[in-house]
Amino acid sequence: MGLLRHLQHWLTGPGRPLVVAEFVPETHPLRQWADTFPWAALVTAVDRNFTQRFPVPTARGRAPVATRVLLALELLKHELHCSDEQICSQLRTDLAVMYACGITQVQVNRTQEHFVLPELLTQFRSRLDEPLLKELLALQAAAAIEQGVVSPAHLVVDTFPSEQGSQRVNDAATLYKAKKKSSRSSRRLRTSAVPRARP
């Protein structure tokens, strides 16, 4: 209910609301992606950090956009290789993006161009400092291990989003290549060590 209260300035309108989950299949990649995140823990960490570092905003004016929405948009921006403008536009038109942002019901005013302005996403991102990002990463990694999505023995976290198909070197790639090279050379040594029969 808290999320709905934050978004009521654009979720209110005439007619029956759309239930977002009914329009996004369970097999949709964005739904599966969103369902792996420990959103409650991530939002709590962001809100606690912001409360400590920034003054309490005034109670006047429009209700703020929920942290859950802004955090999901920031992550989706990198996942989908979008600009701020593109991801905010997709939030207005794409039910899968709405689902990923935790929006459960929608009643839309067709004349409203944006649900979240790109400038707001930029402001949110500027507040994410290094200690907070490390905390969010630790929460996400712990949740992934708990769900059995990754093994703690082989967990390698690459914090830098990269273009699909890029050849950027990271620790995981280097380790994999080193192991592969090592197994090839040891196979060659074993083969050359076997004495060959003379004709």
149-170 tens-digit pLDDT: 777 665 566 555 555 555 444 4
Q: Please say whether the beta carbons of 11 and 101 come within 8 A.
A: no
**If you average pLDDT over every residue of the chain, what do you get?**
76
Which of the four pLDDT bands, split at 50, 70 and 90, describes residue 115?
A: confident
Q: Enumerate the H helices of the chain as residue ranges.
A: 2-6, 8-11, 20-23, 29-34, 39-53, 67-79, 84-93, 95-100, 118-126, 130-147, 171-193
182 or 114, which is more confident: 114
C-alpha 188/C-alpha 50 separation (Å) is 57
- Residue range 136-140: average pLDDT? 90
- Residue range 63-82: average pLDDT? 90
Least confident of 60-69, 95-104, 123-132: 60-69
SS3 label, residue 168: coil
Which of the four pLDDT bands, split at 50, 70 and 90, describes residue 116?
A: confident
**pLDDT for position 179:** 56
Nearest CA to 114 among 145, 152, 86, 149?
86
**Percentage of the chain modeled with pLDDT above 70:** 60
